[in-house]
Structure 1
Amino acid sequence: MAGTNGTGAQAGDEIPPGKRMNMEQHMLDKGAQMLQSLKPIKQMSQHACTFALYSHDTTRQIETHHYITRLNQDFLQCAVYDTDDCTGHLIGVEYIVSDRIFETLLPDEQKLWHSHAYEVKSGLWANPRVPEMVARPELENIAKTYGKFWCTWQTDRGDKLPMGPPALMMSPQGVGIGIVDPVLVQKRDEKYNISSDALKTARVEIAEPEWLNPQADYWKQHKDKGFCIDVETTEMKTRAPFP
């Protein structure tokens, strides 16, 4: 008997479960596209493909697709999908800050963030279909940044719908549990006709941060300790009702 993954949908069903869109809904969407500005979405100017690991379970590694909006020189926000196909699922959000901003965060907040230097230098961070020379200035900036990535839909474990609390994600690293499965990397490289090894060689001269704050990549300094979120009942803050 097929499992349901707690969503009420059979394991073989589409993700997410539901009826196909009808003609009226398609017409509504097309009309809305012509009439509405959709300004925040139109500010997404980059697509980056990389990998991430679950902070509470590093045996699970996923390919991620970041659609990036630049708010200023020190802050980027990313809608994260599990694929760049038209059927991609929005699985989370990542915020990226410069090292200058990161150093202003409280230590307990810094623990939730990860560094990007290794992702860039190793060739794991790629900008599909963008020539390396064009991407180079941005790669030099990203190498000095830190990210906080919350996964809200764990499609890799077969969830048909977003289930449970968000999961904190970690960035790949060149040691221990942070190493990405080579098979996962090869699959990505073949899809985009790129070579992570060639990108790594081409990026040798990209400057790494002079100092990586040890509060980031928390697991590296704390014997492989990660973070997870539990949901608990709590007293609600309330106010007097409006007259």
Structure 2
Amino acid sequence: MERYVYDATGLNAFRPLHFTALLTLLTALSGCAGNNTDSKVRAPGTAESPSTQTLDAGAALLQSRPPVDALNAYLDGFHFYNGHIDAQMEAHHYCAILNEEVIQCVIYDGNRKDAKLMGVEYIISEQLFATLPEPEKALWHSHVQEVKSGQLVAPGIPQIAEHALMQKLIHTYGKTWHTWHTDLNKNLPLGVPQLMMGFTAEGQVDPKLVAERDLRLGIDSAERRKARADIPSPAIAPGADAWSKGNVLQILDPTNTPHTH
């Protein structure tokens, strides 16, 4: 395997809808997504003091948060460290659709208030992906397998609306960086950011990981897979999923934080 290292030190009814209109509809349709996934780590520190609680409550009441308020779409899926496909974890995405070509997501290790911010994912259309320089494309992964397998889900919305969303996401590409490696049971965001990837074939994701997620969220990935059989699989653009062709890019961690299990 050729490995390049960066050194840190040196739904048919909704088919006509555009992404922005679809997101507005999904927000209106969404109910409780089942906020039942605890954070994997506990950050050190004392509980909030009364004065801090007062300041927090005041800020929540008085300050506007337009970028945060724009995070309307909730997606749940799985990532692995680029170069270490056996090091896998669940990822809770809270996303804002900027326009028809670009989505930005913040990623957490749970879906409750104490969830830890793990990283970010940028999602772009296949049209924009085609314009990227060849070296840049190696940082991005396709979403075809994630959609077709039922691994990627949008909890809490009607399946017909989720189907419409998946019809659009299957044509996109993501670039994902994790900054807090909560799967390693770290109580602080140690080490350097790591490039993450998505799965591209059957048998790659840990079935126990999927089964545990399905049970907790009350969904059935196998049923999702059957329901999406009618979604055509587009050809994956050259340059994406470079890891599967032996071109693995990752940031070298000078702290020797082990990103494998």
Unaligned runs of 5+ in 1: 1-13, 233-243
1:119–1:171 contact (8 Å) kept in structure 2: yes
Aligned residue in 1 for 2:221:
196
* Residue 217 (str. 1) matches residue 241 (str. 2): yes
Residue deviations 1:169-228 (CA, integer Å, cap 9, x gap): 01022156xx1100000000001111100000000011222x211311112222xx4222
Distance in 2 between the 1:173 and 1:104 partners?
A: 22
Report the counterpart of residue 15 of structure 1 in structure 2: 42
Which runs of 4 or more aligned residues in structure 1 lie more than 2 Å from their structure 2 counterparts after TM superposition? none
Match of 2:248, SS state, is: coil
Q: What's the secondary structure of 1:62's corresponding residue?
A: strand
CA distance in 2, matches of 1:189, 1:19: 34
SS of 1:228's partner is strand
With over 3 angstroms needed to count, the CA separation of the structure-2 counterparts of 1:137 and 1:175, relative to structure 1, is closer
Kindly report which structure 2 residues correspond to 1:157-172, keeping only aligned pairs within 5 A, or say none.
157-172=184-199
| One-letter code aligned to 1:69 | A
Contact 1:47 1:65 in 2 (8 A): yes
- TM-score, normalization: structure 1? 0.85
1:228 has 2:250 as partner: yes
Residue 50 (structure 1) aligned with residue 77 (structure 2): yes
Tell me, yes or no, if the aligned pair for 1:214 and 1:221 is still in contact at 8 Å.
Answer: no
1:86 has 2:113 as partner: yes
Q: Which residue of 125, 131, 142 corresponds with 2:152? A: 125
Query: Judging changes above 3 Å, is the alpha-carbon distance between structure 1 residues 140 and 231 closer, same or farther for their aligned structure 2 residues?
Result: same
The match for 1:208 among 233, 247, 251 is 233
What is the total number of aligned residue pairs between the two structures?
Answer: 214
Give the Cα–Cα distance (whole angstroms) in 1 for the partners of residues 132 and 250 of structure 2: 20
1:168 alignment partner, SS class: strand
Q: Is contact 2:102-2:123 (8 Å) kept?
A: yes
Q: CA deviation at 1:125?
A: 0.4
Question: Could you say which residue in structure 1 is the equivalent of 2:23?
Answer: none
Deviations 1:111-145 (A, max 9, x none): 00000011011100011121110122211110000
Query: What secondary structure sits across from 1:124 in the alignment?
Result: coil
Distance 1:158 1:167 in 2: 16
Q: Sort the Cα spacing of 1:191 and 1:142 in 2 relative to 1 into closer, same or farther, 3 A.
A: same
Aligned mates of 1:159, 1:45 — CA distance in 2 = 29
TM-score (normalizing by structure 2): 0.79
Gaps of 5+ in 2: 1-40, 255-261
